[in-house]
């Protein structure tokens, strides 16, 4: 993951963290919250410079090792994500490329998944 300025859908030069995803490889960010927070909000989407506009970005949230929710995001979309993190110690956010059939993508094309405007309360 890399902190940088990204162009996502109609937003330009948004400071966020992103990663190039391809060949069914996903990337994971883990936050150790120590049960101190109650809400995480952020926006997610695909960078406009992604190599492929045909792939779907899947953002999956794990709370203390258990899958809680996932959101699929097409190219040229931004989705707001809100997570209840009450009594959560380890929060994982997985970003992975999926094809148009809803399966993990296994090919040579790639997308750049981006998360921005993150806020913990």
β-pairing verdict for 11-22 and 2-8? antiparallel
Could you tell me if 108 and 22 are in contact, meaning their C-beta atoms sit under 8 angstroms apart? Answer: yes
Q: How is residue 77 annotated by DSSP?
A: -
User: What integer is the mean pLDDT of 25-46?
Assistant: 96
Question: Cα–Cα distances in Å, from 13 out to 18, 21, 28, 50, 71?
Answer: 13, 20, 23, 15, 23
Band of the pLDDT at 32, cuts 50, 70, 90? very high
Total domains in the chain come to 1
- pLDDT of residue 71 exceeding 70, the answer is yes
Provide the pLDDT for residue 24: 67
CATH code of residue 24 = 2.60.120.1060
Mean pLDDT of 71-87: 98
Query: Does position 79 have pLDDT exceeding 80, yes or no?
Result: yes
What residue numbers bound the domain in which 116 lies?
Answer: 2-120
């Amino acid at each position: 993951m890399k902190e940088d300025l990204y162009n996502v859908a109609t937003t330009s030069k948004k400071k966020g963290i992103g990663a190039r995803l391809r060949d069914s490889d996903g990337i994971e960010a883990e936050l150790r919250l120590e049960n101190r927070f109650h809400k995480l909000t952020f926006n997610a989407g695909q960078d406009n410079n992604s190599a492929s506009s045909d792939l779907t970005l899947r953002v999956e949230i794990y709370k203390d090792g258990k899958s809680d929710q996932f959101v699929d995001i097409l190219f040229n979309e931004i989705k707001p994500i809100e997570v209840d993190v009450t009594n959560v110690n380890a929060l994982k956010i997985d970003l992975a490329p999926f094809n148009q059939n809803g399966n993990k993508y296994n090919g040579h094309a790639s997308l750049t998944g981006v998360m921005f405007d993150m806020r913990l309360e």
